Amino acid sequence: MILKNTHLLVLSLSLFSLGCKDTTTTQPNTLNLEAATNKVQLLGEGIISTGLYERDLAIAPDGNQLIYTLGDYKQEKRSLVQINKVDGKWSEPELVDFSGTYQDIEPFYANEGNTLFFASNRPMDNNTKRKDYNIWCSNKVDGKWSQPKPLNKTINTEQDEFYPSVSNNGNLYFTATKANGIGKEDIFMAKKINGDYQKATVLDSTINTKHYEFNAFVNPEENLLIFSSYGRADGFGGGDLYYSVKDKAGNWSLSKNMGENINSIKLDFCPFVDVNQNNLYFTSERIVNDSTKINSVKELKAFANRAQNGTGNIYKIGFEALNLN
């Protein structure tokens, strides 16, 4: 089963695209992961979505923790941040214990929430000269994350590996640029057999093109893939969300653009589906214009530091509002 009621988009949404009026709705100062909406909403304005750069949301299967990437305006510093639900209330955001020194991004929970995959430029094999991104994982021990370890060299190379996503059977999907790829950046899959990852293979032309394909989310059953692509003829701008479903023979269908009601003329990427609450989350650099006159330096600073200022923010929409087939 591909989640609940997965069909191609039939929505009546009004999202901002530059030069058009924005009607995206927000719920300031709230964080509700249970609610599902049929319109795209900014997630947790002032709590998660701020004037800084937020991206890459992951929600633990039990719904009591979420982790996302928080960066400065230019993403020169990026760290993993977690928020915990205790006695029904969400805590303040705090750095994940092992994060803060290197560029840690793109979290993904696996193993019923007991393993955390992520991408990082932390040194491999104690080689401080290496600056490439690799895929790492940490295990939950006594409620805390252990010191991360990199995946083996079958997966991690001296090139970049990004955006891990893992199905229930352990198969790993990730982004990389390799000689055996199809385009400028591609989505690869590595099977896990007897506890070991096999050599990664590039997904075929139903997913990858000569352009950029990146940041793929695979659902637990491994029959739905949502990812970003840039450069396709049907794109709306800086990068769009696409999807593919598996047919009865187990092959990925030709990927489809999720449409202008989800995608903007800015970069839309980093999809994640909370399969328990049935919500789709994604990151967008879309901007909400505001022509209100600035009357003071204080107002100018507040305007510059608002959410939806062009840095990344996280958005959500109920999955049942999507019509994927």
Residue 34 forms part of a structural domain: yes
Whole-structure pTM value: 0.89
Domain of residue 209 covers 25-321
Q: What is the mean pLDDT of residues 31-48?
A: 92
Q: What is the mean pLDDT of residues 21-41?
A: 68
Residue 114's Cβ-count burial label (10 Å; 0-12, 13-18, 19+) is middle
Residue 3 forms part of a structural domain: no
What CA–CA distance (Å, rounded) separates 191 from 155? 11
C-alpha 318: how far from chain center: 16
Place of tokens 């087939």: 325
Give tens-digit pLDDT for 299-308: 999 999 999 9
Residue 178 forms part of a structural domain: yes
Q: What is the mean pLDDT of residues 283-298?
A: 94
pLDDT of residue 36: 87
Give tens-digit pLDDT for 94-110: 999 999 999 999 999 99
Residue 20 forms part of a structural domain: no
Residue 288 forms part of a structural domain: yes
Give tens-digit pLDDT for 59-99: 999 999 999 999 999 999 999 999 999 999 999 999 999 99
Going by the DSSP 8-state scheme, the letter that residue 300 receives in this structure is H
pLDDT at 23 > cutoff 80 = no
Instruction: Give the number of other CB atoms < 10 A from CB of residue 272.
Output: 26
Categorize the per-residue pLDDT at 130 as very low, low, confident or very high, splitting at 50, 70 and 90.
confident
Measured CA to CA in angstroms, residue 174 lies from 23, 119, 214 at distances of 34, 10, 8
What CA–CA distance (Å, rounded) separates 136 from 107? 10
What CA–CA distance (Å, rounded) separates 258 from 270? 14
Task: Give the closest residue to 162 by CA, choosing from 107, 237, 115.
Answer: 107
What is the domain count for the chain? 1
Residue 123 forms part of a structural domain: yes
pLDDT of residue 224: 97
The DSSP bridge partners found for residue 127 are 124
What CA–CA distance (Å, rounded) separates 271 from 252? 18
pLDDT of residue 73: 94
pLDDT at 27 > cutoff 50 = no
Residue 19 forms part of a structural domain: no
Do the beta carbons of residue 21 and residue 36 sit within 8 Å?
A: no
pLDDT of residue 30: 67
Q: Give the percent of the chain with pLDDT over 70.
A: 90
Give tens-digit pLDDT for 193-249: 999 999 999 999 999 999 999 999 999 999 999 999 999 999 999 999 999 999 999
**Mean pLDDT, all residues of the chain:** 90
Categorize the per-residue pLDDT at 179 as very low, low, confident or very high, splitting at 50, 70 and 90.
very high
As a residue count, the chain comes to 325
For residue 23, give both structure tokens: 């009607």
- Residue 75, domain CATH: 2.120.10
Residue 195 forms part of a structural domain: yes
Residues 6 or more apart from 194 whose CB is under 8 A from it? Answer: none
pLDDT at 25 > cutoff 50 = no
Half-sphere exposure of 115 (CA within 13 A, CB side): 16
